Amino acid sequence: MTILSQLAAMRSYFETGITKPYAFRKQQLLLLKQAVTAHEEEIYAALYADLKKSKEECWVTENGFFLAELNDTINHLRQWMSHESVRTNLLNLPSNSYILREPLGITLIIGPWNYPFQLLFTPLIGAIAAGNCVVLKPSEFAPATSAVMQKIIEATFPKEYVLYVPGDGAAVIPEMMNHFTFDHVFYTGSTAVGKLIYKMAAERLVPVTLELGGKSPCVVEQDANINIAAKRIVMTKFSNAGQMCVAPDYVLVHVSQKDALVKAMKEKIIEFFGARAEECDHYGRLVNTKQFDRVAAYLTQGKVLHGGRQNRSDLFIEPTLLDQVNPEAAVMKEEIFGPVLPILTFSTPDEAKAIIAQNPNPLAFYVFTSSSAKETFWLDAIPAGGACVNNASWHLTNPSLPFGGRGFSGTGAYHGKYSFDTFSHKKAVMRTPTWFDPSIKYPPLKGKLKLFKWIIR
Ligand code: NAD
């Protein structure tokens, strides 16, 4: 069966209406939970093979993260599916109005390699919960994890309901998107490929969610708790060897605190990963030599304050702090996506804002400060997808918050109820009784302007 005939079969399946009832959706979510739980050890082994992730890291950022979101969705599904009553304006009384969330249809979810399990399966929760059929396209660069996910999906769901399509994205995605009209495409990955996806979708007016990357700045103010800032920045920056979309990309520290921050960060790196991170059992690796070479090149674009050791055959780059980076260097123009952290200083907020403005609309923005006035100032000053105050990256683990970018870092959002909404169409419904039907609403309209102005104001 060709991919296009599989998609046609999926369309017929969806049109039977089988995916719509609450009981069906809930049952599929429970089956998914059962399958993922049963494959827990295989998932750990695969993520270790692909990215050298420890079980603990996997639980927090991959399968445990996914299961928490799945449980939250199962618990709230009935409530999310219920009609949402809204106010009816004077013009339309005594009608009543509500929003009906209906499935979009056939959705395509495209994932990247850095959190290969979580970033493909978490949007799947929203798509199933909202009553859709789903095509899953994993990244080809995390092959062990992809093989386990394929096994889970194919053992759990019929192909016309959830179809797993591995392979080279540049080949299989155009083959589908240029010949089949999806009802939604949910893409997580680089901005460069995101643009290609957006163009293909535009040809068929397919709505998209784009979860892209970007350079997420981390401002450390003069009045910040430096020890806490160092600990939290080091923890998230070097998790998964820096290959996290919301990792702090670079630090902008107030000039008066630079030495204290650097000293504290060096201590934290050693405390968390040891003096020889290559021997640490929970420090990750770059995913492949292409990514290794790209990140290793950044090490020459500043003065290494800490770290800098590398081993290409092991895809290892030490947690590295970089000083004296030129704002024109690639390391300050591209998303780093690796364990290299430039430390820049500022004296005035305007200086810091000018540096951030060179890479607008970051996916996330972080500020460390003990002043609520500075917190308000910074949150207001930087347009970003999301933000943390005195923290970094953790906002994405709260399913009550929408997760997504803006502009260059993406469009749309998901997690929790926001995923359900992303994969649902909000149908506006007005129900009008027949017992009341004033003639004033009907032609001839001449002479009714004064009344209309009173009603519509
Ligand atoms: P990528 O763009 O290379 O690949 C993502 C997906 O696109 C893969 O499934 C791949 O097969 C497919 N693809 C690749 N080339 C294609 C083409 N020419 N046509 C169609 N599809 C193609 O991204 P990546 O390197 O896997 O992921 C890293 C990027 O993703 C980083 O920029 C990171 O910031 C971003 N990211 C964003 C988020 C987020 O939630 N916003 C999360 C993780 C990663």
Please give the DSSP secondary-structure letter assigned to residue 338: S
Rounded Cα distance, 385 and 350, in Å: 21
Across the range 59-71, mean pLDDT stands at 97
What would the pLDDT profile of 274-318 be if each residue is shown by its tens digit? 999 999 999 999 999 999 999 999 999 999 999 999 999 999 999
Q: Which atom of ligand 1 is nearest to the CA of 363?
A: 41
d(CA 106, CA 160): 10
Cα–Cα distance measured from residue 346 to residue 353, given in angstroms and rounded to the nearest whole number: 9
pLDDT of residue 314: 96
What's the average model confidence in pLDDT over 42-64?
A: 95
CA atoms within 13 A on the CB side of 303: 4
Distance, CA 356 to ligand 1 centroid (Å)?
23
Residue 111 CA, ligand 1 centroid: distance in Å: 7
Give the Å distance between the CA of 290 and the centre of ligand 1: 14
In this predicted structure, the answer to whether residue 440 has a pLDDT above a threshold of 90 is no
With cut-offs at 50, 70 and 90, classify the pLDDT of residue 420: very high
Amino acid at 242: G
Provide the 10 A C-beta neighbour count for residue 77.
18
pLDDT band, very low/low/confident/very high, at 214 (cuts 50, 70, 90): confident
Average pLDDT of 372-398? 97
Q: Give the mutation target among 193, 289, 292 for probing the ligand 1 site: most ligand atoms within 8 A of CB.
A: 193
CA–CA distance, 143 with 122 (Å, rounded to integer): 18
Residue with tokens 């445990």: 64
What type of residue sits at position 378?
Answer: W
C-alpha 345/C-alpha 269 separation (Å) is 20
pTM for this structure? 0.95
Residues in CB range of 415: below 8 A, 6 or more apart: 69, 122, 396, 398, 399, 401, 402, 403
Q: Inform me whether the pLDDT recorded for 327 exceeds 90.
A: no
